[in-house]
Chain A
Amino acid sequence: MKELHDQRFTSVAEIEREFSNAGYICNREIATAIYIAFNLHKPILVEGPAGVGKTELAKTTASILDVPLIRLQCYEGLDESKALYEWKYGKQLLYTQLLKDKLNELLGTTHSLAEAMGKLRQQDDLFFSEEFLEPRPLFKALHEERGCVLLVDEIDKSDHEFEAFLLEVLSDFQVSIPEIGTIEARVKPIVFLTSNNNREMSDALKRRCLHLSIPYPEPELERRILESRVPGLSERLREHLVSFVHQVRALDLKKLPSISETIDWARVLVLMHAESLEPKLVQETLNTILKFQDDIEAVNEQLDALIADSEQPMAKTGG
């Protein structure tokens, strides 16, 4: 069976090509980061606003390398019993009850308490074997036969303790389970950590990771992304749409539209057979890119100016 590291990316350009074939248009920086991560076995910490394709990057990597993607969604209060492993307490308790007779039988032949204890001791590891272990994402990722892409999503939502706990996994690709011992990765996974900058990550974590920040894309890149994701969109409309979104991003809004919103909007426009950005149509579909009523109102006020500007050649509105 093919392993994760059987494949080799030989150059940054190759990665760019592979990703674009898989439908993920990435810039040089992203490709370089993946190239290093792949060849030097380093985790990547990806930062950027919501919806710029951080999670998508991990998914695409997994599909290109043809390995499973294991995802660990972080949240406040996440601890190792949710992330790494847990004993199946219920099963353990149930088994002790069900096996009562068997235990009686086993211990019935003994004559003293010490002897019974001795006999029991020979068996007790049974209850703390992998049979009773509930594997969680991190454990699974280390156990994966062919390697995998591990996505630790929204690490900034987790607690400091969990971040510290992750350090062992990230630097050595191993974890310690008190009852069983140290478990090493069968194949070192490619690790992505994503963060929305809700809080600053600790230096220790940053030190172990490559740091990649994905900002809102340049107009050119965004056009290419749209081209690949929404093929039905006419070229002219694509230009206008990207230019419009870029202008909206320059406004002072609560939540700026990111790539995923642009793509959604493009899909909506295709669905409605739009040929150009009509004010009425824009007004009606604005809720696909803006998620707050305040924002929608703010944009509505300037709608005509924005549309007029977006009809201008892109050179003026770039960035």
Chain B
Amino acid sequence: MTPEIDRAGSNRGRAWRSWLPVALLLVVAGVQVALVKTEGLSPWKGGGFGMFSTTDDAGRRRVRVYVTAPERSEEITISPSLEDAAVRAGVLPGARQLTRLARRVVERERRNGRPVEAVRIETWGIEYAPDTLAATTRLARTFDYRVDAITATRP
């Protein structure tokens, strides 16, 4: 047993003060690993200490947004009002963040008097070949949002 534990943990009822912060760290880190594997969270984010471990960082993720309506189907640019939601959706392309972005897109289109029935969001990443480092873009996730229904698919 360590000297610190001897002193701090001599009273077992008080040892929790030393353990609680690290217990929180481990819980959050466990959730982060799960989110990376299931929702596509960037390993750099989420409190799992995966920074500087992979090229799959926020800067290499791109979000593309397409809007459709009668007589309209086009990719829109990410305006400053959408930027924050787009970055978050790129880093964590789960249903919640993607829905948030889609709703912002609908609000913006309606604010500008443009019709919108559906929004498609694609999240893209970059992969580097192991030896040559040749870089290619990779479609990570496609998300379709309609005012009345939501579906998310993975390629």
Instruction: Note whether A and B form a binding pair.
Output: no
B interface residue numbers (CB < 8 A to A) = none
